[in-house]
Amino acid sequence: MGWLILALMGAVTFIYGLTVHATLLCLLVKPLPVLALLGWLHDAPASDYRRWISLGLIFSLLGDVLLAWPGDLFVFGLGAFLVAHLAYLKAYLSDCRRLAVLPLLIACGVGTLLLGILIANDLGPLLVPVIIYGVAISTMLWRALARLGTDVPKRSAWLAAAGALAFVFSDSVIGIDRFVAPFHAAPYVIILSYWLGQWAITASAFDLKKQNHRTL
């Protein structure tokens, strides 16, 4: 209950900070919801899956700070979240390694569409970093969807898939707002879908057995 209160306090305060343009306040409270998820995650059964999700949350915390920091640290924030996605990818691979052609096609389609839109709007020196990041998050989405319909616990599989989709949506809005067509509601859409995604990914660790069983 304490972690939930911390997360809600941080989220509400951050939204308030966005509304009144309080940069310092946003910087101070933005990490709190993900920090609360890290604390909550320690109640989940110990497993390789939990360890990799923990690492992903830690790098997400770093990314939160870098993106909220005054000045343009976008590339560094992108790098932190790249590592976070690789950690989530490793978590999904820890209990499922089947090829999963349909999820692969879906993830490739989503990634290609979004990268195509961004590249068409002249990314300049960010072209290569954005492409690398896009490939990483698309691969993470593929492996999250690949767990559906296997002997991975159903609730864990659905939560991870929903979390990955929410994360992709959040990052897509960041790209559209930054490179294509900025819009006023973007910061709110981005942060709410991001927190929802992180919560679902974290919650997916609670239905796993202590010793992960790998699906081939």
Query: Which candidate, 82, 26, 74, places its Cα nearest to that of 178?
Result: 74
Split into its structural domains, the chain has a count of 1
Residue 113 domain-assigned? yes
Residue 210 domain-assigned? no
Residue 186 domain-assigned? yes
Residue 183 domain-assigned? yes
pTM: 0.92
Q: What is the CA radius of gyration of the chain?
A: 17
**pLDDT tens digits along 92-123:** 999 999 999 999 999 999 999 999 999 999 89
User: 3-state DSSP call for residue 2?
Assistant: helix
Residue 3 domain-assigned? no
Residue 15 domain-assigned? no
Q: What average pLDDT does the segment 180-187 reach?
A: 94
**pLDDT tens digits along 41-95:** 999 999 999 999 999 999 999 999 998 888 788 899 999 999 999 999 999 999 9
Domain residues for the domain of 195 are 46-204
CA angle, 60 then 91 then 119, to 5°: 55
Dihedral sign, Cα of residue 183, residue 187, residue 192, residue 198: positive
For 117-139, letters b (16+ CB in 10 Å) and e give: ebeeeebeebeeebeebbebbbb
